[in-house]
Amino acid sequence: MRVELLEVMGSDLTVVNAARVSFAAESHEFSGRDKKLIKYLAKHNHWTPFGHVQLQFRLKAPVFVARQLVKHQVGLVWNEVSRRYVDLRPEFHEPEGWRLKANNKKQGSSLETFSGLLGERWDARYWDLMNSAETLYQNMVASGVAPEQARMVLPQSMMTEWYWTGSLAAFARVVKQRISSDAQLECQLMAQKIDQLVANTDEISYSWACLTEQE
């Protein structure tokens, strides 16, 4: 799985000035006073000033992860590789172990994984299924079946890629929900990647820290 931060439009100062315009005021250099304002805005859920900073990512993940993340719609737009037009060889997610079912129904899996011969057995059966699906797909396309129908045989573990663009506020909501311990582990990992990239972007790091309650 992969996350790339492609573009950032705006900065902490953008957030400050979007808020100060209500009083016909403007800051030209980011100061301690501005930090206090950003912290206040985040603490009291004044989201609109953070909407003036935009982020664009390119992500790669299995379909079953992408379909959970795409549920986040407010303040975000999404454009994805389409198997209706693309018939390249599919790539499949490689699980790092098979997690046991959780006792709590609200938690999809535990952190404990199958080990030894049983884990190897599930690995072998998984890749047998992936290879069979790929072979069937390629044979269908080669015989003239339209890719938009042939794609129906491809599993949810197939990798997909998409552009994801939206406001700083919107991505902060995504991260806070999906980085939580009760989110699916693969979604947590994607949220962690987003978080690390934005947190290390100097021009918006303070706003991000306040929105995600890391400072």
Domain count of the chain? 2
**What's the CA gap between 13 and 206, in Å, rounded?**
10
Identify the CATH number of the domain in which residue 23 sits: 3.30.1360.170
Does 133 map to a domain?
Answer: yes
DSSP state of 106: T
| SS3 label, residue 4 | strand
Per DSSP (E only), the strands in 73-167 are 76-80, 99-101, 109-113, 159-167
According to DSSP, the residues that pair with 157 across neighbouring strands are: none
Residues 109, 136 within the same domain: yes
Contact 91, 188 (CB under 8 A): no
| Residue 48 predicted with pLDDT over 60 | yes
- Annotated active-site residue 151? The verdict is no
Segment 90-147, tens digit of pLDDT: 999 999 888 888 777 666 676 777 877 888 899 999 999 999 999 999 999 999 999 9
Domain with 43, as residue range(s), is 7-57+166-211
Q: Of these residues, 83, 151, 173, 178, which one is catalytic?
A: 178
Q: What is the pTM of this model?
A: 0.90
Residues 103, 147 within the same domain: yes
Residue type for position 198: V
Residues 23, 46 within the same domain: yes
Segment 156-206, tens digit of pLDDT: 999 999 999 999 999 999 999 999 888 999 999 999 999 999 999 999 999
